[in-house]
Structure 1
Amino acid sequence: MKFLTVVASCSYRQRVVVVVIEQGVQMFVIRFLVLGFLAFYSYAMGDQPGGLNGFGTFIAFSGIVVIPAFYMLPTIEAWLRESSNLPSIAAVNLFLGWSIIGWVFALIWAFRKPTPIERAQQFGYQLSQPSFPSQQPDGNKPKKDCPFCGEEILAVAKKCKHCGSELTT
């Protein structure tokens, strides 16, 4: 994982502040700013009264591509990060992105790092289920009766919890 380190100094007492930004976040900020500027600029160009020259017309019609790309930015980030939840993120972004909360939720979900288990499954590793030989498939541990008091105890018990007798195998 690559990081960008930014060092800044304050004027009072010259304190040095070090900010570490992950490269993926840095690229997101660049994409966000560029798409946001282009979306605003193409919208503003389309609102100009009077006729537009060729470049102005091109910029105004580029909003047909840029504005949906800006709207779908969380889905693009999930796709670039190879998220296993890409269809779900795209659905939330498409249907709830019109509300700022839905758009931010989809963006946060796109930035979520996969757990090690999800990562292993993504690369095709077969995960084994934990096996406990003392447990039966229904989840109950095998039991037996105490030979001294007759109470039910675990089959692996060395001492009865009811009468305190030492058990022999």
Structure 2
Amino acid sequence: MIFGFIGNLSIFEIVFLLPFIGMYFLPSIVAIVKKKNLILIPVLNLFLGWTVIGWIILLFLSVKKPKVD
């Protein structure tokens, strides 16, 4: 019951958690701002972002420049 858990949080706890939630979704935010892989990176971030290596790979994919031939 996630809604029961959220209902028991104080304002201080919610404000404390917001930067961590933003950090978790940082690869998705960067990809959306740069308009790169608008579906792939956010979906993978949702499912693989909790692994450190998955988060690092997704961040790399969202900030790397496209290869110019």
Q: What TM-score do you get using the length of structure 1 for normalisation?
A: 0.32
Show the counterpart of 2:11: 58
Show the counterpart of 2:42: 90
Q: 1:113-135 deviations in whole A, cap 9, x for unaligned? A: 12458xxxxxxxxxxxxxxxxxx
Greater helix share, 1 or 2? 2
Q: Which structure carries more relative contact order (alpha carbon 8 Å, separation 6+)?
A: 2
Q: Which amino acid aligns with 2:29?
A: I
**RMSD of aligned residue pairs (Cα, Å):** 2.2
Q: CA deviation at 1:64?
A: 4.6
Moved over 6 A (4+): none
Partners of 1:81 and 1:59 in 2: how far apart? 32
What stretches of structure 1 of length at least 5 have no aligned partner? 1-45, 47-56, 118-169
Between Structure 1 and Structure 2, whose CA radius of gyration is higher? Answer: 1
What stretches of structure 2 of length at least 5 have no aligned partner? 1-8
Q: CA deviation at 1:82?
A: 1.8
Q: 1:88-117 deviations in whole A, cap 9, x for unaligned? A: 111111101110000001000001212458
Show the counterpart of 1:67: 20
